[in-house]
Structure 1
Amino acid sequence: MSEHDIIDRVRKHLLVGGRWRASADGSVFGVSDPGTGATLCEVADGQADDAKAAVETAVEAQDEWAATPPRQRGEILRRAWQLMTDRTDELATLMTLEMGKSLTESRAEVAYAADYFRWFSEEAVRIDGNYKRTPDGSARMIVTRQPVGPCLLITPWNFPLAMGTRKIGPAIAAGCTMIVKPAQLTPLSMLALADLLAEAGVPDGVVNVVPSTSASRVVNPVLADPRIRKMSFTGSTEVGRMLVEQCAPNLQRMSMELGGNAAFLVFSDADLDAAVEGAVTAKMRNNGESCVAANRFLVQSSVAEEFTRKLTDRMAELRMGHGTQPDVVVGPLVNEGQRATVSELVEDAVSRGARATTGGEPGGGDGYFYRPTVLADVPDDARILREEVFGPVAPVTTFADEDEALAGANDTEYGLVGYVFTRDLDRAIRVGEGLATGMVGINTGLVSNASAPFGGVKASGFGREGGDEGLAEYLETKYLSLALRS
């Protein structure tokens, strides 16, 4: 299927109550290819009235959907997993065109995204409870889990499929209806996913999708409605703080997966070749536009020069180009604003004494390219050590011992993930437990897994997605007390 045909197949309207419809005022917005800057198509631009209509249909569908047998919900998710798997190439091409990542990366994301549907299809029938006697024997206690209710799910542009399935999967498994607000930059993947879910058997009104150029125009009326009982958001810490305030009046439950500033620790006893490969994985996944990307490389002084040289050689050989081209590893950044931010942070570091051992400048072509970059001798006051770069830049600093490594790694407001490379098991446990993060990769640059709890601490948010914990986020606990007749 050609790229034109793939774009043409996507429904470019809002999905409300099982009906694909134009926005309330008929407005649309353009979706661009970051590899060329060209407009791919136009999509309906959701308005406040559209958001309110989505709330009504989600509320109306909630009771019937919650009463659906768990096995039936699980089978729907299983069919969705199979459909995604069967259409990997089509979905991957669509994602590459609207987001920029290479086709290899996009195919990997489709598999990762689909795995959330498979995992939660199996967990839908394992929602548990318990039955106990009260300590004095006079009554029985029954504890059940029930769906939290209609949800608002806000997804980011960098992983437009996986961040959707990571929220939609447990919501469906638990029996919750939802309104999904996809990112303005990448709505096509979510619209294609919603169409696929309807084909898999999701009833009308359970999944509603409202893309919009104004997040607040959609989010504000949804969160103002007390019938919406949960909000899940993946995005920046700045926006996350505002959403927490918006949820406060109605005391809606929240899952917040926010910014990161991951430290990548390399100790002198590490396998340096493995550490370099892990560094490339942790840094360059999704062109560096990932909340779990390694942003700060802390290397023990005795091996810092060798590690930096090896990492420089490895980063320099990565092929950059449009994501649909063969053998491309590094695609464009998502837009000019993101590229400008990366350039600014690199320039700041260099002005303070850092050295670019490779890269350090934008790439050529019409798209928003930035060359894979390694920075050596990065001073402590460089902004890039404090701010999330969200691009293909690896700043390297050094440490003397384990205490200094931990202190440096934890010297950030964020706490999403950390990475540790060492051959010493005792050290791996000590440092892993000492890192103030929600996740730790030990001798690996990849921690994401549908069966594992994904999330952070501090300014990286709260709540978990994936694993048993991810399903629990969409369930309320109810206790029934049964008094016995004497």
Structure 2
Amino acid sequence: MSVLLTTHDPRTGLPAVSYPCATPEQVVQICRRARDAFFNQWRAVPSTERATALLSVAALLRDRLEEFAAAEARDTGKPLDVARGEVAGAAGLWEYAAALARTEHSECLSTATTQGLALTLREPMGVVGLIVPWNYPLITAAERMPFALAAGCCVVLKPSELAVGSLALLVEAMANNPLFPTGVVQVLFGQGDAVGRALVANPDVDMIAFVGSTATGRAIESAATATGKRVSAELGGNNHVLIYPDADLPRAARAVVAGGFRNGGQACIAGTHVLVDPSVADEWAAHLEQALRERFPVGEAGTVASIQPMISAAHKQRLLALIEQARPAGFVPLPGSLLDGPGNFLGPVVLDRVPLHSPLRQQEIFGPVVTVTRVEADKFPAILADNQYGLAVYVWTAATSAALAAIRQVRIGRIWVNADPEFWLPELPVGGFAASGVGREGGAKALDTYSLPKSVLIF
């Protein structure tokens, strides 16, 4: 009898859904099946047919949007309307990947002689082990899986043990879709230490695509590359918001509250650490307090209607411990902050006058906590350069020259200027620098992540 993995509804703490954990033998079988499907079927399917298959998944997501949104919301604690938006966004990614599948092409190159022909062909990587996190199961999978399939790869998907979301529904539907041969897309449920580790080590897997914490990602990178696997990994982010003296302060404050607390702050691109020039710091604090009260009115904070709960009680306790650890260094909670809440609920929390070297600023918080540090704008670049992460940054300034200078100076994968992270385009790649990961996903070159060129000389 299989051991069951049970996820829990973060809003209530009650069991949500149970899944059978994969045994070591099943990991071997599934990876072998994926390899057989790659060499014997999917690799040879014309790109036009792969595109048609991907479009059918997009149509499925749109047709069954409510069902997928309900599953996503139940496991992650998201509001249902937010989950609906994520399902629609995932469908858009599948559609974009389908369009890219039809752009596969070889390149013909000139040779040193008048005879012969030189060309390159793209070869799919093979079997991709895809490991996705609990905060955005469907979206993080959609940023990767359809592009791997478009390139001609097969996928073995490993969701988080904390929140599978709608991924079980997705894989089941694809398994019943005649456009996808058996074994092209499969799923493994289970703990990361057991099932995830076995997937990374399996010799039939050619590549690992991972989204998650930096510590776990580095361990996966080491284990995967030791056996010759390629790796694409989007890891943690300790992201800054830069408030220059000429910024539109009311608009920036609303954006910080919206973006910093979206998904309960449990987002790798959350704008967690605000740097504000002292010349406007007091005015900024007033606007931030007003934005906080407007979005999270007194009496609602900490309830189901206000902010998304933490994924688990353990995650909430970790955040509370971080705040307590930082108290001796000093901070001032803005009015409207809630340093605790019922069950798994916490926040929103905005901490003003956080010292530059506070423990809160040294690591990814990954929760509904926003820090504000008062520091001169000319020091912003040095502070960002000293940050080991390089995933996202938000720049607020009316001066085009200041914005361009910041864009050129930072080594950060995703940059928003005078905007919050509500808006992104499938055409833009995602990924980070330094401790925030390796490789890029999405964008016009997305298929290059999941394929390699073959060079050919013909005489």
After TM superposition, the score normalised by the length of structure 1 is 0.89
2:9 and 2:301 map into 1 onto residues whose CA distance is 13
Choose which of 410, 425, 436 in structure 1 pairs with 2:411.
436
For residue 86 of structure 2, what is the amino acid of its counterpart?
A: E
Structure 1 residues 335, 463: CA separation in 2 closer, same or farther (over 3 Å shift)?
A: same
The answer on 1:460 being equivalent to 2:436 is: yes
Partner of 2:16: 40
Contact kept? 1:34, 1:368, Cα under 8 Å? yes
Partner of 1:187: 164
The answer on 1:66 being equivalent to 2:43 is: yes
Q: Secondary structure of 2:96's match?
A: helix
Shift of 1:322: 9.2
Partner of 1:20: none
Choose which of 344, 358, 373 in structure 1 pairs with 2:321.
344
2:83 and 2:293 map into 1 onto residues whose CA distance is 22
Shift of 1:139: 2.5
Percent identity between the two aligned chains: 30
Contact kept? 1:32, 1:185, Cα under 8 Å? yes
After TM superposition, the score normalised by the length of structure 2 is 0.94
Q: Which moved more, 1:415-424 or 1:346-355?
A: 346-355
Partner of 1:333: 310
5+ long unaligned stretches in structure 1: 1-24
Aligned CA RMSD, in angstroms, stands at 1.7
Shift of 1:356: 0.6
Shift of 1:224: 2.9
Choose which of 93, 97, 104 in structure 1 pairs with 2:74.
97
The answer on 1:113 being equivalent to 2:90 is: yes
Choose which of 56, 59, 74 in structure 1 pairs with 2:32.
56
Q: Secondary structure of 2:117's match?
A: strand
Shift of 1:380: 2.1
Shift of 1:405: 1.0
CA displacement, residues 279-335 of structure 1 (integer Å, 9 cap, x when unaligned): 123212211100000121001111111222211222233345799x6xx34121100
The answer on 1:375 being equivalent to 2:375 is: no
Contact kept? 1:315, 1:373, Cα under 8 Å? no
For residue 75 of structure 1, what is the amino acid of its counterpart?
A: T
Choose which of 242, 258, 261 in structure 2 pairs with 1:281.
258
2:12 and 2:309 map into 1 onto residues whose CA distance is 9
Shift of 1:240: 1.0
Partner of 1:21: none
Partner of 2:210: 233
2:121 and 2:416 map into 1 onto residues whose CA distance is 35
Q: Secondary structure of 1:42's match?
A: strand
CA displacement, residues 365-388 of structure 1 (integer Å, 9 cap, x when unaligned): xx3000211101101232111111
Partner of 1:420: 395
2:443 and 2:290 map into 1 onto residues whose CA distance is 37
Q: Which moved more, 1:120-129 or 1:100-109?
A: 100-109
Choose which of 109, 123, 146 in structure 2 pairs with 1:132.
109
Contact kept? 2:240, 2:394, Cα under 8 Å? yes
1:427 and 1:300 map into 2 onto residues whose CA distance is 13
1:30 and 1:409 map into 2 onto residues whose CA distance is 40
2:401 and 2:357 map into 1 onto residues whose CA distance is 32
Q: Which moved more, 1:290-299 or 1:311-320?
A: 311-320
CA displacement, residues 136-195 of structure 1 (integer Å, 9 cap, x when unaligned): 333311111121101100000000100111111101111111111100011242101112
Structure 1 residues 35, 158: CA separation in 2 closer, same or farther (over 3 Å shift)?
A: same
1:376 and 1:133 map into 2 onto residues whose CA distance is 61
Which structure 1 residue ranges, 4+ long, deviate > 4 Å from structure 2?
Answer: 319-323
Choose which of 166, 179, 182 in structure 2 pairs with 1:204.
182
2:230 and 2:55 map into 1 onto residues whose CA distance is 27
5+ long unaligned stretches in structure 2: none
Shift of 1:261: 0.3
Contact kept? 2:260, 2:271, Cα under 8 Å? yes
For residue 44 of structure 1, what is the amino acid of its counterpart?
A: P
2:356 and 2:248 map into 1 onto residues whose CA distance is 26
For residue 456 of structure 2, what is the amino acid of its counterpart?
A: L
